[in-house]
Structure 1
Amino acid sequence: MDALPEHLRRWLDNADNWKGERIDEIDLPDGRYVIKRREAYALGRVALWAKRARAWLMSRVCGWLFGVRPAPAALLHNDIQAEGRRLQYLFAHGQRVPEVLLSTPDILVMRNVGDVLTDVLRDADMPARLHWLDRAVQDTARFHREGFWHGGAQLRNLTLGQDGQIWRIDFEESAGDVLPLAAIQAYDFFQMLQSVMMSPRYPADDMLRLGQHVLYTYLQAHPEPAVRAALVRIGRIFRRISWLLRLLARIPGRDVQAFVRSGAVMKLLLNDGTDDSHPRLPA
């Protein structure tokens, strides 16, 4: 604690500050910080069983999507200490992630790395929204090309730093520790695509064309055959459940419609996939 910036150290010296919301953003004279606290399970054993059930379900989903079914126990290592270790590793390798200032079983203290991209998109005009989406896709491809994975690549887990670069936050997901790199990178892409298809910041009529652009932009920037094969596998799954997608298309709701649109985009991979005609972003 002695090595921490003075105002931050004083803030942490107050025991009351170790309690409160799970995630806090604080502004102090010596900087902006994010405080992440250990998740408190109010219902004790019930919540623990719910967490185990989620890990079991995630294991099955991985087997369905990627043909690899990790042990559910391996998916439970997603506490804030594990996130702190991942952040320290990525930061040491020059990636744009928060610098960890303090990591304990109860609290994770990081430097603030800018405004969440979903907030940036909300306040921007349409040309700027398209620009930042393109930057986000390109940066995810770069991150993958350099051999890394996120595990939570939705737009809400990207930020726009003061340096004008895309940064990454929220590294609690542990699936990448037990899945092949190509599989978890494909999962990253699908998370990003799904979040784009769910965004209210783009015209609904342009969503499929926008999704096509996101897909082709990513594949051109990260043309790794193993990742493409993993994405094609997802596309085949969506083709097998085309009947379900047609039913879901009649149901209102952003989550449902995003799933349907994402499926339509992923099925594009089942065409010949070598088309170099790059669709333009909707104007």
Structure 2
Amino acid sequence: MPDTPDPQLVQAAQDRLARDPGRIVSLDFCGERYVIKRVREKARSRHQQWAIRVLCRTFFPFLTAPGNAPPRDGWYEMERVRALQTLGQPVPQVVAQLPDAVMYSHCGENVEHTLREQDPAARRATLEAVTRNLATFHRAGCWHGGAQLRNVLFDGQHFYRVDFEEDLDRVLSLELAQVYDLFQHLADATTWAAGDDTAESLGRDLLALYQAEHWSPRHTRALRGVARLLAPFRWLGPWLDNARSRDVRRSVAMARVTREGIRRGPRKH
């Protein structure tokens, strides 16, 4: 893509935004597809900043920065995407900066769309591939901040990561930010357990796969903090296994997965 976008493409994007009030809209132009994302100011109150600081320092000592997490302006995501592009990471290309939105290249459908169409064996293979992709992304010294499957796109050959609005870098160490990504990924992936897999067994296997690809003692320390945070769900597991809430069942499974991941430790290649 050229540094200066086609004026007709920019006008088409602005016309599309005028017709559609949605936060994220698609645009087809001259045989190419684009995604336009409106800029949203990211607000965080002082109370929220204080709560984040207390939570991090209580459960993750030595893995957090001394300050608060101030709100960033709405262009922060675009800046992160451009920085990741420079590093050669798999993210959409910034095509144009509009007055109140950013236009990106289209990089396929999210992974959830792929998973819905697969049988259990193919689904597990896809989840393993996304787990390896996350480990590779982290091994390059990066972090996502929104590593749920809905924020991973697949074009039939490659995975691309999107949605970089979280501003964790001023508060969390790199290892804690990566474990936060890993927790988001595993918590999401375990809901797709099928066939002989249970949420817990799938989570254990994916965590072991990630640990074999990318791990350090500081990651273990961060994971131990997650396990402490989730300990009540592990203790109450026998009474919560059949809870109606999917979030509660997911928390129980993740409490057991993280605990097992600490006990077992990373496997050698």
Task: Pick the TM interval, shorter chain.
Answer: 0.7 to 0.9
Selected match of 2:117 from 98, 115, 123? 123
Q: % of aligned pairs identical?
A: 31
Whether 1:210 and 2:205 are equivalent positions in the alignment is no
Superposition TM-score, scaled by structure 2 size: 0.86
Native 8 Å contact 2:204 2:261 kept in 1: no
Selected match of 2:211 from 206, 219, 236? 219
Is the deviation greater in 98-107 or in 209-218?
98-107
- Secondary structure (helix, strand or coil) at the match of 1:62 reads helix
- Secondary structure (helix, strand or coil) at the match of 1:80 reads coil
Question: 1:76 maps to what in 2?
Answer: 71
Within 5 Å, which residues of 2 pair with 1:140-159? Answer: 140-159=134-153
Cα 1:203–1:106 change in 2 (3 A) is farther
Whether 1:93 and 2:94 are equivalent positions in the alignment is no
Question: 1:191 maps to what in 2?
Answer: 184
Equivalent position amino acid for 1:14 in 2:
D
Cα 1:65–1:196 change in 2 (3 A) is farther
Whether 1:248 and 2:243 are equivalent positions in the alignment is no
Question: 1:45 maps to what in 2?
Answer: none
Give distance in 1, aligned partners of 2:168 and 2:265. 28
* Partner deviation per Cα, 1:132-187 (whole Å, 9 max, x = no partner): 1011000100111110000111111111124x111100000101333110110111
* Partner deviation per Cα, 1:97-125 (whole Å, 9 max, x = no partner): 01112235621111111110011101122
Give distance in 1, aligned partners of 2:186 and 2:135. 13
Selected match of 2:165 from 172, 190, 209? 172
Cα 1:264–1:159 change in 2 (3 A) is same
Give distance in 1, aligned partners of 2:223 and 2:98. 37
Within 5 Å, which residues of 2 pair with 1:25-40? Answer: 25-39=26-40
Equivalent position amino acid for 1:76 in 2:
P
State the shift of 1:38 in Å: 2.5
Give distance in 2, aligned partners of 1:219 and 1:159. 23
Is the deviation greater in 120-129 or in 81-90?
120-129
Give distance in 2, aligned partners of 1:69 and 1:241. 28
Give distance in 2, aligned partners of 1:132 and 1:262. 20
Superposition TM-score, scaled by structure 1 size: 0.82
Native 8 Å contact 1:235 1:268 kept in 2: no
State the shift of 1:71 in Å: 4.2
Question: 1:44 maps to what in 2?
Answer: none
Cα 1:116–1:181 change in 2 (3 A) is same
Question: 1:21 maps to what in 2?
Answer: 22
Return 5+ residue gaps in structure 2 as ranges.
none
Equivalent position amino acid for 1:273 in 2:
G
Return 5+ residue gaps in structure 1 as ranges.
42-47, 279-283
Cα root mean square deviation, aligned: 2.9
Equivalent position amino acid for 2:71 in 1:
L
Equivalences, count: 266
- Secondary structure (helix, strand or coil) at the match of 1:167 reads strand
Give distance in 2, aligned partners of 1:9 and 1:105. 11
